[in-house]
Amino acid sequence: MRKKEYFADSEEASLLYREEFRDMKTEEPEVAPSPEKDKFEIIGKSTSRIDGEKIVTGRAPYTHDIKLRGMLYGKILRSPHACAEVISMDISQVQSLPGVKAAIQLKKGRVTYAGEQVAAVAAVDEKTAEQALKLIKVEYKSLPFAVTEEKAMEEGAPQVRKRPNVQKFNEYTRGNIDKGFKEADFVLENTYKTAVEIHHPAETHGSVAKWEGERLTVWDSTQAIFGVRDGLARALKIPASRIKVIKHYMGGGFGSKLGINDYTVAAAMLAKQANKPVKIILSRRENSLCVGNRPSSLQTIKGGVKKDGTLTALYLKNYTSGGIGRGDYCSEPVVDLYKCPNVQVEEHSVFTNTGASRPTRAPGHVQGTFALEGFLEELANKINLDPLELRKKNYSTKNQGDKETPYSSKGLNKCYQLGAEKIGWKRRNKRPGEGNGKVRRGLGVASQIWWGVGRAGTQADVKLHPDGSVEAICGTQDIGCGTRTYMATITAETLGLRPKDVTVKIGNTEYPWCGGSGGSTTTPSVAPAIRDAALKAADYLKKMAAEKLKAKPDEINITKGKFSNKNDPVQSIGYKKLIEELRKERKFRREKVFHGEYVGRPSGFAYNTFGAHFAEVEVDVETGKVKVLKVVGVHEIGRLINKITAESQIIGGITQGVSTALFEERIMDNTTGNVANPNFRDYKIATSLDIPEITPLIVDTVDPRINNLGAKGLGEPPRIPPAGAIANAVYNAIGVHVREIPMTPDKVLQALKRKEVD
């Protein structure tokens, strides 16, 4: 079977995110949701994580922590060449090393990046496995390579794939772009650049595989347990029914752990050969080479605007490099975020001999928003208009630049209002760079659009036991965002209990089906499914309580652990008392399971999340150093489910955004074809000393159509605007836009020199 059919670093797998999350079809549910009237006591408030103590005390089991009886340790031999033919491979000497229990060849033919796996071994300990790798003899024929976009785009550059290195993969047009530019009073054109960003979750990638006869169990650090199961079934040519995938806790993924991985397949193959469990945990260096990255971008934007701030035309040409995989779609903000009648987009992938891209929290939108929002900032200055007013002037109520489908809900204007008040927008420099002195301050803003809708077909169960205990069960995975907590909260709210009264079971493919946790889809998929199951359980309990209270089921209220008659609240029966009486009457002798499902949302509407970030920075114009002082992040995500975890999402997204804006950049060695900074010493990431004051704000409005709770997703949105807002604040401080992230001191100083020339 060809590698591209199941490995996550293939071009086809790099399309997973777009196909699975962006382009989900709107399905008409049997009954449209009407959650506006729902009033809650727990939902929307701050509920501490039900597993918080377990996590902070180190008792939560991560994939790194899995230890099985007789377990072996796997290691992978990776190509040192960016491009080469594997002429021959000899693994015979490996088997003679004491402690080695399995060895397999994983690659024949051409390797296309340094770090691609070619062989693997399993031994009784890691040291022996590492020694075994040195005994594998591989003869390579080194070939020319191109590891940078500039090199790959040169005439006569080494061909990375069996196609040109530059390939158009997206184009879009509405209106007449030439007509739009003719109608403009001012036209501006600038180019913006973003670097390749490496996935560096706290927990590196890893899997543990164990066979019991013909049945395989895998413990995986993954965002998609069902995707791993199905990928293994294809790779190993066995039925998915013989595979179980488990994921208890995970130390970050951010898109890199969606779907099947090549090391997971290798662990399963080694375990089969050795007839013992095998554990493969990637090193930090391996994480730098072969588990994905956020593609770079080189975006040229040309725009036309009238004197009053009305946009007349936007043109985007983007070159984006995802290594041997496709680059990111960066044009969504240009296409959808603002009212503009004439838009044209061209996007091209630039293939290089580097590891393939994978979805990275808000793929494409981070790069696209940085460029578009920076361009609008410069355009506003061109017509002497407050950049926030420019955004408000071109506010849209429909997608495709106000041309197509109305948004189901949109609170971006409210985000602008709250954020501007909190940051003190009136303090900003009226003209960019008008301050004096060695250290200059500035304020900036950037808007955000994302999807964050649910995935139809997501299933969940609520199980009532005769002793009164309750379980909430779903085959989803908590990737660090508090899924267990909101499942408990929703179930408890619906049944009149407390979150601690509910036992949550997730992270196992033997539980009801759920898709991968990516695209901000987990909450709007799982929450309505568990709510549906809990409502069915509540209906059953109301019926039983109504018989006791001589009332009709629709006259029963559930709250604070008891059932009462709406018409006569004195008449009531406690939850535990009701269960006890039903058990004595032999009406509740065994567990009762109530199945829930998220069936979709009404067609005819665009479902998106919105937000705005405001940043304050200071810039040392002598050293070029940028310090972010404060960021206010405001988001509209439909109904708020849990205030404390939502605020944590915003804080985390801004933290990552500061890191991207100022520090993160993969550097390739053109001589060797290897990553030059595959560690935390050389690959700079923001530390606690770099994190500013962060104020998270949420516009808590119910989306009337999206699902039975009116909730959208919040995973990606906070990650999108920070870099743009920070760059615009720098522009406001020094009077020249850096136009490239990360905004390292040398780039800031170069921009200041450009200002002097201009």
CB atoms within 10 A of CB 695: 19
Give whole-number Cα distances, 369 to 1, 299, 610, 659, 731, in Å.
Answer: 39, 11, 12, 16, 16
Statement: residue 612 has pLDDT above 60: yes
Residue of higher predicted confidence among 38 and 367: 367
Please say whether the beta carbons of 594 and 462 come within 8 A. Answer: yes
Q: Is 100 helix (H, G, I), strand (E, B) or coil?
A: strand
Statement: residue 23 has pLDDT above 50: no
pLDDT given at position 756: 81
Token readout for 679 is 């560690």
Token readout for 491 is 């179930």
What's the Rg (C-alpha) of the chain? Answer: 27
Token readout for 103 is 């060895």
Please say whether the beta carbons of 218 and 268 come within 8 A. Answer: yes
Among 489, 479, 475, CA closest to 526: 475
Q: What average pLDDT score do residues 651-666 get?
A: 98
pLDDT given at position 4: 32
Among 249, 142, 150, CA closest to 196: 150
pLDDT given at position 14: 47
Provide the Cα torsion 130, 134, 139, 144; round to 10°.
Answer: 60
Q: What average pLDDT score do residues 729-757 get?
A: 96
Please say whether the beta carbons of 79 and 241 come within 8 A. Answer: no
- What is the C-alpha to C-alpha distance for residues 740 and 717, in angstroms, rounded to an integer? 21
State the CATH architecture for 32-56+454-597. Answer: 2-Layer Sandwich (3.30)
Please say whether the beta carbons of 401 and 339 come within 8 A. Answer: yes
Q: What average pLDDT score do residues 64-78 get?
A: 98
Q: What average pLDDT score do residues 431-443 get?
A: 96
Q: What average pLDDT score do residues 473-497 get?
A: 97
pLDDT tens digits, residue range 559-600? 999 999 999 999 999 999 999 999 999 999 999 999 999 999
- What is the C-alpha to C-alpha distance for residues 136 and 80, in angstroms, rounded to an integer? 14
Token readout for 233 is 């079934």
pLDDT given at position 95: 87
**Which option is the CATH number for 293-453+604-757: 3.50.50.60, 3.30.70.260, 3.30.365.10, 3.40.309.10?**
3.30.365.10
Statement: residue 629 has pLDDT above 80: yes
Percent of the chain past pLDDT 70, that is, above it, reads: 96
pLDDT given at position 658: 98
Beta pairing partners, 139: 88
Residue of higher predicted confidence among 220 and 36: 220
Same fold for the domain at 32-56+454-597 and the one at 293-453+604-757? yes
pLDDT given at position 7: 36
State the CATH architecture for 3-13+62-145+205-281. Answer: Alpha-Beta Complex (3.90)
Output phi, psi for 753, to 5 deg. -65, -40
Confidence of residue 758 (pLDDT cuts 50, 70, 90): confident
Statement: residue 219 has pLDDT above 70: yes
Alpha carbon 352 to its chain centroid, in Å, reads 24
pLDDT given at position 32: 56
Statement: residue 523 has pLDDT above 90: yes
Q: What is the mean pLDDT of the chain?
A: 95
Confidence of residue 18 (pLDDT cuts 50, 70, 90): low
- What is the C-alpha to C-alpha distance for residues 384 and 387, in angstroms, rounded to an integer? 9
Q: What average pLDDT score do residues 48-67 get?
A: 96
Distance from first CA to last CA of the chain, Å, rounded?
58
Beta pairing partners, 188: 303
Statement: residue 153 has pLDDT above 60: yes
Give whole-number Cα distances, 519 to 373, 388, 435, 483, 593, in Å.
Answer: 22, 28, 41, 15, 30
pLDDT tens digits, residue range 98-140? 999 999 999 999 999 999 999 999 999 999 999 999 999 999 9
List the domain boundaries for the chain.
Answer: 3-13+62-145+205-281, 32-56+454-597, 293-453+604-757
Percent of the chain past pLDDT 90, that is, above it, reads: 94
Q: What is the DSSP string of 524-556?
A: HHHHHHHHHHHHHHHHHHHHHHHHHHTS-GGGE
Statement: residue 11 has pLDDT above 80: no
**Residues 6+ positions from 182 with CB-CB distance below 8 Å:** none
**Residues 6+ positions from 458 with CB-CB distance below 8 Å:** 474, 476, 513, 514, 515, 525, 526, 528, 529, 597, 598
Output phi, psi for 103, to 5 deg. -150, 135
Among 254, 286, 249, CA closest to 74: 286
pLDDT given at position 442: 98
pLDDT given at position 28: 61
- What is the C-alpha to C-alpha distance for residues 242 and 230, in angstroms, rounded to an integer? 11
Token readout for 139 is 């003869």
Q: Is 634 helix (H, G, I), strand (E, B) or coil?
A: strand
- What is the C-alpha to C-alpha distance for residues 737 and 755, in angstroms, rounded to an integer? 9
Please say whether the beta carbons of 222 and 514 come within 8 A. Answer: no
Q: Is 173 helix (H, G, I), strand (E, B) or coil?
A: strand
Question: Which of 21-25, 304-308, 480-484 has the lowest average pLDDT?
Answer: 21-25
Place of tokens 């991968």: 516
SS3 labels along 308-365: CCCEEEEEEEEEECECCECCCCCCHHHHHCCCCCCEEEEEEEECCCCCCCCCCCCCCH
Q: What average pLDDT score do residues 401-429 get?
A: 97
Confidence of residue 29 (pLDDT cuts 50, 70, 90): low
pLDDT tens digits, residue range 296-315? 999 999 999 999 999 999 99
Burial of 13 per CB tally in 10 Å (0-12, 13-18, 19+): buried
pLDDT given at position 16: 47
Strands in 215-220's sheet, in edge-to-edge order, are: 100-105, 117-123, 72-78, 278-281, 206-212, 215-220, 243-246
pLDDT given at position 465: 97
pLDDT given at position 26: 53
Q: What average pLDDT score do residues 652-666 get?
A: 98
Burial of 288 per CB tally in 10 Å (0-12, 13-18, 19+): buried
Note if the bond before 158 is cis, omega within 30 degrees: no
Give whole-number Cα distances, 656 to 479, 649, 717, in Å.
Answer: 16, 11, 12
Q: What average pLDDT score do residues 403-420 get?
A: 97
pLDDT tens digits, residue range 369-399? 999 999 999 999 999 999 999 999 999 999 9
Statement: residue 5 has pLDDT above 50: no
Give whole-number Cα distances, 215 to 202, 210, 221, 245, in Å.
Answer: 31, 8, 20, 11
Statement: residue 672 has pLDDT above 80: yes
pLDDT tens digits, residue range 269-283? 999 999 999 999 999
Among 369, 268, 274, 346, CA closest to 723: 369
Place of tokens 């072969």: 290
DSSP state of 672: T
The H or E element that residue 262 is part of is: helix 262-274
Q: What average pLDDT score do residues 351-373 get?
A: 98
Among 120, 289, 225, CA closest to 505: 225
The H or E element that residue 179 is part of is: helix 177-183
